[in-house]
């Protein structure tokens, strides 16, 4: 983290220029974009860290993308969701361990899998049994039978714990699991 601290600090400083850092309200006031909203939401600090790390690769521009007009829907993993995932990975204990171009590319694919472009889908607009294409290219499945759940290629659903955080360029739903696309599962399993 020491090598990323100056970059992370600079990035957050840029994000906070347009908002009052003492204001921790992420309700539906729609005065901030997705990145600004994530930056002031304590439970999304690992997501912000993942965005910053992924964007260290020259071909990644996730922060710029999520600062754009959109609209976007973001299924944002909570800090605990990231902790749970990192606890399952061999040799990767913290986000700082994504320290190669290849690992940051993998992280970028995971983050892209949480973004839906072209629509700001409120929880009430999600249809039971539907599938939604993500920015990464693969789909996630939606269930509304027991609250709103998003299912990735592992087959284990993520629960929406905080729904409908309205932003100027879309909507954020906080979820309790990091979603994993098939492309990443294949890479983690040695290409099988």
- Residue-level pLDDT at 93: 76
- Residue-level pLDDT at 128: 94
Tokens 């910053």 belong to: 52
Shortest CA distance to 162 belongs to which of 49, 28, 31? 28
Phi first, then psi, for residue 175 (nearest 5°) are -120, 160
Q: Say how many domains are in the chain.
A: 1
Residues 166 and 185: their CA atoms lie apart, in Å, by 31
CATH number at residue 17: 2.30.180.10
Whether this model's pTM surpasses 0.85: no
Name the residue range of residue 177's domain. 5-188
- Residue-level pLDDT at 89: 80
- Residue-level pLDDT at 32: 93
Bridge-based pairing state of the strands 131-133 and 157-167: unpaired
- Residue-level pLDDT at 1: 41
Cβ neighbours of residue 175 closer than 8 Å, sequence gap 6 or more: 75, 76, 77, 78, 81, 150, 158, 159, 160, 161
pLDDT, tens digit, 9 for 90 and up, residues 126-165: 999 999 999 999 999 999 998 999 999 999 999 999 999 9
- Residue-level pLDDT at 188: 76
Q: Which residues of the chain have pLDDT under 70?
A: 1-29, 190-192
- Residue-level pLDDT at 71: 96
Q: Under DSSP, is residue 84 helix (H, G, I), strand (E, B) or coil?
A: helix
Residues 67 and 65: their CA atoms lie apart, in Å, by 5
- Residue-level pLDDT at 191: 56
């Amino acid at each position: 983290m020491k090598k990323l601290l100056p970059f992370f600090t600079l990035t957050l400083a840029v994000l906070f220029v347009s908002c009052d850092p003492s204001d921790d309200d992420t309700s539906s006031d729609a005065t901030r974009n997705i990145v600004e909203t994530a930056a002031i939401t304590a439970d999304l600090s690992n997501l912000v860290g993942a965005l910053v790390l992924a964007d260290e690769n020259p071909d990644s521009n996730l922060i710029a993308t999520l600062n754009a007009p959109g609209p976007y829907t973001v299924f944002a993993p909570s800090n605990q969701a990231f902790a749970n995932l990192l606890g399952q990975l061999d040799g990767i204990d913290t986000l700082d361990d994504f320290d190669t171009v290849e690992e940051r590319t993998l992280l970028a694919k995971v983050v892209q899998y949480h973004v839906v472009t072209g629509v700001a889908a409120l929880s009430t607009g999600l249809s039971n049994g539907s599938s939604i294409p993500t920015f990464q290219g693969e789909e996630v499945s939606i269930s509304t039978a027991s609250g709103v759940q998003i299912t990735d290629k592992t087959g284990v659903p993520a629960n929406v714990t905080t729904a409908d955080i309205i932003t100027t360029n879309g909507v954020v739903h906080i979820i309790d699991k990091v979603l994993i696309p098939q492309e990443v599962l294949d890479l983690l399993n040695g290409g099988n």
